[in-house]
Amino acid sequence: MVMKNVKDVKRGFKQPNYFQVDHKVEKIFKVEGVDILPSPIAWQKLKWTRKYFLKKPKEGYFVWIKKQIDFPFFICVSIAKEKTKQKLSNLLMIEKNLNISLLGTCNALKKRLSAYHKAKGKIILKENSILKYEHIHSWGQEDVIEPDYEFFLEKNSKLDYTYKNFFSPKELKIKTKFNLFKEASSNINITVDCINTKVNIEDIMILKGKNASGILKLRLVGKRNSKIKAHTQILADAQSKGHLDCQGLLIDKNSEISLSPQLVCKNKLSQITHEASIGKVSEEELTYLRMRGFDQKQAIDLIVNGFLSI
């Protein structure tokens, strides 16, 4: 699937607005009302971006969406060469009153590249803006991956964010921080399907403004020889509402899942809740599917796919 997706991009099946392979920007497809630049050039030309980048970036993308666009904006970053080390600094800004859909894909073109991919980025949603962001990862079996993103949701902005990892790497370290200001809202879904993978997840949602609200959901599957640790937190600074939902599904006896949900409330008018569970594949479900003609693997795959659909 990784190879197919990248070939589709090269054939123009779905034109990326920003397309990078290894350290080279292969294509920038410009759109009216949107500034798209490699991050080093944005740092040089737009001095106001420096307060977001903090230090001069070596690679990555800058996207500033200033007008409404009526199609999904598409960013694609790939690794093609063995032992490539990507260190991306990314910045995405959505201006006021816009309703934007974004598809971001990061992937390896081969299974055994022993590559390293670190993406550190900031996403800013201006007042009354809406962003639906689907973030998809597909990696090789020996890669080390570290996405590290911080979101800023200004007054009355809305974020619908989904992170999916279809092909798991050797190591996956996810850090995500969501800052919600007055009346901002978010719906966050993180799904990771692991095989021979070491995973460490650190997510925090900070409800900073009055009437901010957020839901944070994790669905984690531990297949063959996987070790998964997830520390997730909702912090309520102001009168707000939040819910944390962490669930793990353990498939393999040699795998391990550790969930550490945490709620921190600093305002007596806030309401924050959580639920967490780790389970195994139900024998009843397996029997039901086997009786309808599915073999063991097919039945487990169906159950896992259903579990990951949030």
Average pLDDT in the 204-216 region?
97
The residues, any chain, with a CB within 8 Å of residue 180's CB and separated by 6 or more, are: 153, 186, 205, 206, 207, 208, 209, 212, 213, 214, 240
pLDDT at 301 over 60: yes
Closest CA to 214 of 269, 173, 274: 274
- The per-residue pLDDT for 14 is 67
User: Tell me, what's the pLDDT at 178?
Assistant: 98
DSSP strand pairing (61-65 vs 34-38): antiparallel
**Phi, psi dihedrals of residue 253, rounded to the nearest 5°:** -65, -20
| CB-CB contact of 222 with 199 (8 Å) | no
pLDDT for the residue numbered 3: 40
Please, what is the angle between helix 296-308 and helix 283-291, to 10°?
Answer: 120
pLDDT tens for residues 77-101? 999 999 999 999 999 999 999 999 9
Residue 305 pLDDT: 82
Read off the pLDDT band of 6 (50, 70, 90): very low
Q: What is the pLDDT of residue 13?
A: 42
Tell me the whole-structure pTM to 2 decimals.
Answer: 0.91
pLDDT band at 166 (very low <50, low <70, confident <90, very high): confident
Q: Is 238 helix (H, G, I), strand (E, B) or coil?
A: coil
Mean pLDDT of the chain: 92
Structure tokens at 140: 């090789």
Q: Are strands 240-250 and 212-222 parallel, antiparallel or unpaired?
A: parallel
Q: Given the DSSP bridges, would you call strands 99-108 and 130-138 parallel, antiparallel or unpaired?
A: parallel
Q: Per-residue pLDDT for 265 more than 60?
A: yes
pLDDT at residue 9 tops 50: no
Token digits of residue 200 = 């460490």
Please, which pLDDT band fits residue 11 given cuts at 50, 70 and 90?
very low
From CA 206, how far away is CA 238, in angstroms rounded?
9
What's residue 155's pLDDT? 98
What is the mean predicted confidence (pLDDT) over 249-273?
Answer: 94
Is 258 or 54 the better-scoring residue by pLDDT?
A: 258
More confident: 3 or 236: 236
- Going from N- to C-terminal start, the domains of the chain cover 2-282
Which secondary-structure segment (H or E) carries 205?
Answer: strand 198-207
Range in 102-106, 243-247, 289-293 with the lowest mean pLDDT? 289-293
H helix and E strand count, the chain: 5, 19
How much is the average pLDDT of 15-34? 95
